[in-house]
Structure 1
Amino acid sequence: MRKLIHRLAALTLALPLALPAVAATVNQTLPPRVMEALKANKIESSALSLVMLPLNGDGVPTFVNADVSVNPASTMKLVTTYAALELLGPNYQWKTEFYADGPVENGTLNGNLYLKGGGDPKLNMEKLWLLLRDLRANGVKTVTGNLVLDRSHFVQPNLPVFDDDGNDRNKPFLVGPDSLLVNLKALRFIARNEGGDVQVLVEPPIATVRIDNRIQALPRAKCPGWPDVRYNPIENEDGSVTVVATGKLAAGCSGQSYLALLDHQRYAAGAVRAIWAELGGSILGGDRVSPVPDDARMIARAYSPDLVEIIRDINKYSNNTMARQLFLSLGAAMRSEADQDDAQAAQRVVRQWLAKKGIISPHLVMENGSGLSRAERISAREMASLLQAAWRSPYAAEFISSMPLAAVDGTMRKRLRNTGVAGKAHIKTGTLNTVRAIAGYSRDGDGNSWAVVAILNHPRPWGASSVLDQVLVSLYNRPKQSTAQR
């Protein structure tokens, strides 16, 4: 009897807390200004999935088309980066190492030099230069053997190559991940017309990249924002690439372009050899790929920046390659024997992590973790639930600050200027040919914080970015609730 009384008392105490949740008001209509923007751009309202969740204050949640499976484009990076923060830790680092399989005597390594990649997403030219400087400081100047690249850290998935426009094959944003990703595999071409003499240089100066300069020199004129200079790569039988530079360039003008023309092996080896030669070193052998032998000794090591800095680059500037690198790093860190590759391992790990958080995600499909995919899917409700969980995370500050700040930086730097939202919203953007998306955190006019997800999938999403901006403006300008409503 006493137990029954205790149970009834507990139930009575619980009812006042449970009833408001059941009777809570939910808005299921789009803000009027958002509807107007959709109509102005001839986009059906069914194409827009919208969720706005109050994180504090007394706002009413909005759910419109919230449980539709949609392509989130680059807002998928929020899933990858938040999972990495909690699963790997904010101070997680990657390492890149040089090994030797022979003795070093009087500045000469009598053997092979191994470069072992650890999946560092930000192994840029400066970091590689410092690593090679460290190699010189450890007494190596001449290598009698080969330069051997160890690219075995990742178990790579066999994924389709993404090309949204059909002519982006050499664009750096399409570069795939690799255990030994150097400088995002980008080649920078600089064209200058100095006194009628047009010169074209490439950085880094990789020996297997040759320039055929056919740019026409023009008299001095006002320099255009985008010079008429084009680069056409031609693969040679010996494995080198000849880049034919054409177009016109006025005297006193310059321009630069970024292309990804070499595979990971040729780029990494070429970059190492170029910097090593500048440091006065030499490698007498050739290039090959092989794991580091068990009996080789480590002679130089470099660490990446902390994960917190990496996710800032990924989310602020929507870096696809770094996001894919991070996704595979999740898989590599927690790979099981049942996983076929590190993408499959990452998918499993993220799903298990979400389940432990109580986030049900039947619509979630992760292919590469970057959103640069036609296969990836999520619902607006699932994304908003993740943002709500991240708001309560110990790493909330690190996660939120990684996103672009409206009208200030990253992919949002030119949006929402001269509005009340400027500087008050941390928003990740997403863009594909048929997708426009935003997801993140924003404030209303009362200073209350909201999780906001707006994903638009449409064959012709022209003007859709203005529609999504209006979502944030409407939230900021939402009608204030009266005391009676509260």
Structure 2
Amino acid sequence: MSNFLSHLTAAILTTALAVPTFAAPVNQTLPPGVAKSLAANKIESDALSVVMLPLNGDDTPTFVNADVSVNPASTMKLVTTYAALELLGPNHQWKTEFHGDGPLIDGTLNGNLYLKGGGDPKLNMEKLWLLLRELRANGVRTVSGDLILDRSHFIQPALPIFDDDGGDKNKPYLVGPDSLLINLKALRFAVRNDSGKIGISVEPPIANVRIDNRVQALPSGKCPAWPDIRYSPVTDGDGVKVTVTGKLAAGCSGQTYLSLLDHPTYAAGTVRAIWKELGGKILGKDRVAEVPEDARLLARSYSPDLAEIIRDINKYSNNTMARQLFLSLGAEFRNEADGDDSKAAQRVIRQWLAKKDLISPHLVMENGSGLSRAERVSARELASLLQAAWRSPYAAEFISSMPLAAVDGTMRKRLRNTQVAGKAHIKTGTLNTVRAIAGYSRDDDGNTWAVVAILNHPRPWGASSILDQVLLSLYNRPASANTAQR
């Protein structure tokens, strides 16, 4: 009898294995509008990876070149920000502190003043001013010793300096992360022609930045959108001299942002400038060291919640803040084997993805911002991450951090006067040879889709119109067989 049962079991198994399995229907062709736009811009179809996944409903997904390893540009920020939401929590905050190592007597700190950075991505001028006001309110007016910067929070990686166009190294978007990042290390130069008199101001008013004003004043005229003003910075001793040239008509103004100082010089200069405005004095010099264990806490500031931080990162594609967040993940979970916080962040994110069953063999992360030639991912991997985020408890925070088509952020001027306006939360990505979009968009039936479209091409001219056509084609897609049967 047992022999009969064994033969019967084998027969059933053989029959079961012989039954063909039918995979869910998948579309593997580009929408006609997208293919037409590619042809019009003379870009080969194999340069474009597209994935469209229905998140509610049972429509047919699209996978075109979905498993090709591509450079995602700034859409990589979605990996970093979603991982941070789940690993750190939406209410995670960073702290910045002032410490003193001597007694406070009659308004004088008889010792050194320490500023300890905690990696805050958004320690701007207003927050630093409030922190210094708290220091002043706690009785400090004069510091007899040095201003000491503690930049030990991050273990910095040795990464190559990125400059996509090989041009101006002083562009603010190239600013690297730092444990004590203040105001994104940006200097704002404002030039005005007031009745023939040229005035130039710098904010913050750091003493190490000196201006050589050579701007020519012109009579009254129409103010151009881009005034003919040029800035030529030259490192000079412990600071920088900026020669400003060009022409400016009466009543006109212009401004620009530059990053000219290293992190310690900028941080110390900004602290001294604000402290001077508040009537305070620091008698010693500036240097970098760690806060002693016996130092006394004098004032503390907290950053906005992470949910607000990722909104700035994704809406405006802020590279410096994204890199700051990436290193914060590493600093939070580092172990002795990691070496630096970039490697720690890479390890932590891969472990997190594995726990979510998001297998990502193409994923390569260098700094977490997408401002990299080394970073890679496939469209399928990024779309799968968006699909997982849709089911996350923090889906609302994540989705709302992305630019809204035709409304704000880097999508503010795109898809205006179309059906997609206001219906798609889309992160953009741009490098010299990359154009990308990734996020969530609705179709004409009100269903939501995860959408990824990444174009890697030596000459991606017209790519924005191609990627916009992906969203328009999704909105106006023809009804699938599943939809027609409902």
- For Structure 1 versus Structure 2, the TM-score category normalised by the shorter chain is over 0.9
The TM-score normalised by the length of structure 2 is 0.95
In the other structure, the counterpart of 2:49 is 49
**Partner-residue secondary structure (3-state), 2:199:** strand
Summarize deviations over 1:70-108 as a string: whole Å, max 9, x none: 000000000000000000000000000000000000000
Letter in 1 for 2:178: D
Report the residue type matching 1:347 in the other structure. Q
Does residue 1:222 correspond to 2:248, yes or no?
Answer: no
Distance 2:353 2:485 in 1: 35
In the alignment, the residues of structure 1 paired with residue 23 and residue 43 of structure 2 have an alpha-carbon distance, to the nearest angstrom, of: 33
| C-alpha separation in 2, matches of 1:104 and 1:166 | 50
Q: How far is the alpha carbon of 1:20 from its aligned partner? A: 12
Query: 1:370 & 1:23 partners in 2: Cα distance?
Result: 36
Deviations 1:244-298 (A, max 9, x none): 0000000010010100000000000000000000000000000000000011011
Question: Which secondary structure state, in structure 1, belongs to the residue aligned with residue 464 of structure 2?
Answer: helix
Comparing 416-425 and 19-28, the one that deviates more: 19-28
Q: Which residue of 2 aligns with 1:69?
A: 69
Q: Could you tell me how far apart the structure 2 residues matched to 1:278 and 1:22 are?
A: 73
1:20-419 map, 5 Å: 22-236=22-236, 238-419=237-418
Q: Describe the SS at the equivalent of 2:191.
A: strand
Partner SS, residue 135 of structure 1: helix
Give the AA of the match of 2:154: F
- The C-alpha deviation readout for 1:391-448, integer Å capped at 9, x for no partner, is 0000000000000000000000000011110000000000000000000000000000
Give the Cα–Cα distance (whole angstroms) in 2 for the partners of residues 251 and 194 of structure 1.
Answer: 6
1:72 and 1:21 map into 2 onto residues whose CA distance is 34
CA contact (8 A) 2:154 2:328 kept: yes
- Whole-angstrom distance in 1 between the partners of 2:359 and 2:69: 13
- Letter paired with 1:460: R
Alpha-carbon distance in structure 2 between the residues aligned to 1:356 and 1:314: 25
How far residue 174 of structure 1 moved from its aligned partner, in angstroms, is 0.4
Q: Distance in 2 between matches of 1:481 and 1:376?
A: 35
Paired residues, number: 473
State the distance in 2 between where 1:59 and 1:149 align: 56
Instruction: Determine helix, strand or coil for the equivalent of 1:455.
Output: strand
Q: Gaps (5+ residues) in structure 2?
A: none
Counterpart CA distance in 1 for 2:102 and 2:472 is 65
Q: Which runs of 5+ in 1 are unaligned?
A: none
How far apart are the structure 1 equivalents of 2:282 and 2:31?
65
* Partner Cα distance (1:20, 1:420) in 2: 42
1:144, 1:246 → 2: CA distance?
40
Distance apart, 1:62 and its partner CA: 0.4
Partner of 2:463: 464
- Offset of 1:168 from its aligned partner? 2.9
Q: Which amino acid aligns with 1:160?
A: P
CA distance in 1, matches of 2:45, 2:310: 33
Counterpart CA distance in 2 for 1:248 and 1:444 is 50
In structure 2, what residue type is equivalent to 1:322? M
Matches within 5 A, 1:422-437: 422-437=421-436
Q: How far does the alpha carbon of each residue in 1:101-131 deviate from its partner, in whole angstroms, 9 at most, with x for none? A: 0000000000000000000000000000000
Matches of 1:28 and 1:190 in 2, distance apart? 52
Give the alignment's Cα RMSD to 1 decimal.
1.7
Contact 2:60 2:480 in 1 (8 A): no
2:474 match: secondary structure: helix
Residue 478 (structure 1) aligned with residue 477 (structure 2): yes
CA distance in 2, matches of 1:119, 1:241: 26
Q: Distance in 2 between matches of 1:22 and 1:240?
A: 69
Q: Deviations over 1:291-335 (max 9, x none)?
A: 000110111000000000000000000000000000000000000
3-state SS of paired residue (1:173): helix
| Structure 1 Cα separation of the partners of residues 465 and 28 of structure 2 | 21
Q: In structure 1, the residue corresponding to 2:206 is in which secondary structure?
A: coil
- Describe the SS at the equivalent of 2:153: coil
Identify the residue that residue 445 of structure 2 maps to in structure 1: 446
CA distance in 1, matches of 2:296, 2:156: 26
Partner of 1:406: helix, strand, or coil? coil
Give the SS at the match of 2:226. coil
Specify the code of the residue in structure 2 equivalent to 1:380: A
CA apart distance, 1:136: 0.1
